[in-house]
């Protein structure tokens, strides 16, 4: 019986792919292999997704059937490409997980990224992972990768390396948008004048410098003054408007083009 079990084990071979306890373990395993993987060595070849696994991954994507064979061939060709670097010193790592792929991205703190993508051998989350592609080194910030993950609605975990060990860290809050400037306010007011004039034109087939008719409220625009010059009549009418605010002047015409004639006073 024992000899039979040994024979079956040999025939079946070891299970394919990386087993992981959690994503911190995955990051540690990949980071340990990076020096050899970057030069296409180590156990990278043994852990590469094979034709069957690549085809299963492509089949899971929302792509036309006629494109699947071409896409699979492209993935297999990319597996042989060089990484773009012979060494990479990572200080942070981001694991991004979607329904079809797990991506490990390492960052060196100098806007460089080293990424590797994995798919499950079973085609389902939670299975052993094989290397779909990479590692590839390029210029990309951690912040931009977080934005990509948000767009893809992916699950993410962030890790940092301290004293040689990888541990979890909180996802940083996105930076607050810059406060609007006087120039921004000028452009916004000029665009509002343009929209009001265009709306009036759609109803009357002409433009007007009668603010009450057009619906231009200088005060609500935050402007110190607004001047509208109309030329022509009916469908041949054109207009040019100037909006003043805090010493600055913006000009807009019936094409919607906005020009800062004079910048705001400092």
Cα separation of 115 and 31, whole Å?
11
The confidence score (pLDDT) of residue 153 equals 82
Considering the domain boundaries, does residue 1 fall inside one? no
Look up the pTM and report it. Answer: 0.65
Are both 32 and 127 inside the same structural domain?
yes
Considering the domain boundaries, does residue 6 fall inside one? no
Are both 153 and 35 inside the same structural domain?
yes
Considering the domain boundaries, does residue 176 fall inside one? no
Are both 81 and 144 inside the same structural domain?
yes
Cα separation of 20 and 229, whole Å?
70
Considering the domain boundaries, does residue 21 fall inside one? yes
Q: What is the pLDDT of residues 97-115, one digit of tens each?
A: 988 899 999 999 999 999 9
What residue ranges in 111-237 does DSSP mark as E strands? 112-120, 129-139, 155-162, 165-169, 225-231
Are both 102 and 154 inside the same structural domain?
yes
Are both 116 and 50 inside the same structural domain?
yes
Q: What is the pLDDT of residues 172-220, one digit of tens each?
A: 887 778 888 999 999 999 999 999 999 999 999 999 999 999 999 999 9
- Residue 137 Ramachandran class (φ > 0 left, ψ -120 to 50 alpha, else beta): beta
- Span 119-147, average pLDDT: 89
Closest CA to 250 of 239, 262, 238: 262
- Span 91-101, average pLDDT: 93
Instruction: Provide the residue range defining the domain that includes 232.
Output: 182-262
Q: What is the pLDDT of residues 218-254, one digit of tens each?
A: 999 999 999 999 999 888 899 999 999 999 999 999 9
Q: Is the dihedral of CA 9, 10, 13, 19 positive or negative?
A: positive
CB atoms within 10 A of CB 125: 12
Considering the domain boundaries, does residue 23 fall inside one? yes
Are both 24 and 148 inside the same structural domain?
yes
Are both 212 and 104 inside the same structural domain?
no
Phi, psi (5° rounding) for residue 207? -105, 170
The confidence score (pLDDT) of residue 235 equals 82
Write the CA distances from 251 to 180, 182, 190, integer angstroms.
Answer: 19, 14, 7
The confidence score (pLDDT) of residue 13 equals 59
The structure tokens 């343009």 sit at 194
Are both 101 and 214 inside the same structural domain?
no
Considering the domain boundaries, does residue 3 fall inside one? no
The confidence score (pLDDT) of residue 229 equals 96
Residue where a domain terminates, one of 138, 169, 200: 169
Residue where a domain terminates, one of 113, 147, 169: 169
The answer on pLDDT for 5 being more than 90 is no
* Structural element, H or E, at residue 2: helix 2-12
Percent of the chain with pLDDT over 70: 93
Are both 144 and 237 inside the same structural domain?
no
Cα separation of 30 and 45, whole Å?
14
Average pLDDT value over all residues in the chain: 90
- Span 135-146, average pLDDT: 93
Strands 165-169 and 248-253: unpaired
Are both 141 and 200 inside the same structural domain?
no
Residue 38: strand, helix, or coil: coil
Residue where a domain terminates, one of 169, 202, 224: 169
Cα separation of 227 and 209, whole Å?
8
Are both 111 and 154 inside the same structural domain?
yes
The confidence score (pLDDT) of residue 266 equals 78
CB atoms within 10 A of CB 252: 25
């Amino acid at each position: 019986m024992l000899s039979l079990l040994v024979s079956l084990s040999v025939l079946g071979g070891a299970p394919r792919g990386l087993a992981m306890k959690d994503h911190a373990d995955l990051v540690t395993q990949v980071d340990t292999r990076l020096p050899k993987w970057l030069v296409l060595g180590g156990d990278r070849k043994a852990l590469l997704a094979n034709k069957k696994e690549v085809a299963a991954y492509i089949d899971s994507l929302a792509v036309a059937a006629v494109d699947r064979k071409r896409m699979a061939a492209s993935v297999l060709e990319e597996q042989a490409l060089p990484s773009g670097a012979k060494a990479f010193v990572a200080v942070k790592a981001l694991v991004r997980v979607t329904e079809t792929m797990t991506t490990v991205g390492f960052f060196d703190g100098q806007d460089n990224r080293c990424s590797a993508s994995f798919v499950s051998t079973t085609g389902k989350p939670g299975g052993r992972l094989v290397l779909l592609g990479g590692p590839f080194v390029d210029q990309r910030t951690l912040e931009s990768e977080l934005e990509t993950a948000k767009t893809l609605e992916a699950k993410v975990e962030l890790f940092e390396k301290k004293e040689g060990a990888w541990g979890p860290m909180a996802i940083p809050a996105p930076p607050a948008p810059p406060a609007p400037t006087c120039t921004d306010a000028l452009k916004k007011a000029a665009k509002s004048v343009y929209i009001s004039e265009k709306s009036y034109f759609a109803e009357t087939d002409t433009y007007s410098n009668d603010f009450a008719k057009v619906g231009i409220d200088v005060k609500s625009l935050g402007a110190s003054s607004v001047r509208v010059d109309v030329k022509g009549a009916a469908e041949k009418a054109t207009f040019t408007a100037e909006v003043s605010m805090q010493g600055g002047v913006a000009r807009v015409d019936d094409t919607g083009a906005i020009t800062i004639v004079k910048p705001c006073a400092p």
